[in-house]
Amino acid sequence: MTVEIVGYENAGLTASVDMIQQFSRTTSSYDELLGLFPPTGSQIDAVIEQISRWHPPVSVRLSIRPADLESLVWSCDFCGEPIELSPGGDALVLDSRSNDGPGSHTLISHRRCLAERIHPENGGERARALTVGKAH
């Protein structure tokens, strides 16, 4: 399988496709079967499900599940409830990096979950957590 992430062709990424759900269920139609198991040589769309930068090279996990192509949902790392990462969703993707070494860690959060964890005296940061990335 060859993977091309548009805009990142020369970034030195490794990629994998999450196939667990495909093998753990039955399909209800031929179109659904083709969506989960595309024919050899076909070109398909995928969504980025997870990015790991803990150790080089950067690892990207892709999903071709039809439901993820419609609306990618993940769990909030603070409250554990589902959160939509697709455009229009309420997710924040937080990268934490150290100032003294390589690697980073990614957290997925509801805006409110992050805002609730910011110290009350830091009202500006709380307000930004609730609005960052939203169109005005």
Q: For residues 13 and 84, what is the distance between their CA atoms, to the nearest angstrom?
A: 25
Residue written as token pair 């990096």: 97
Model pLDDT, residue 17? 65
What's this model's pTM, rounded to 2 decimal places? 0.61
Q: For residues 64 and 47, what is the distance between their CA atoms, to the nearest angstrom?
A: 7
Could you report the per-residue pLDDT of 40-63, keeping only the tens digit for each?
A: 888 777 777 777 777 777 777 777
Cα angle 64, 74, 8; round to 5 = 55
Could you report the per-residue pLDDT of 15-40, keeping only the tens digit for each?
A: 766 555 555 567 778 877 777 777 88
Kindly report the number of other CB atoms within 10 A of residue 42's CB atom. 7
Percentage of the chain with pLDDT > 90? Answer: 21
Could you report the per-residue pLDDT of 80-130, keeping only the tens digit for each?
A: 999 988 777 888 988 887 788 777 778 889 999 999 999 999 999 999 999
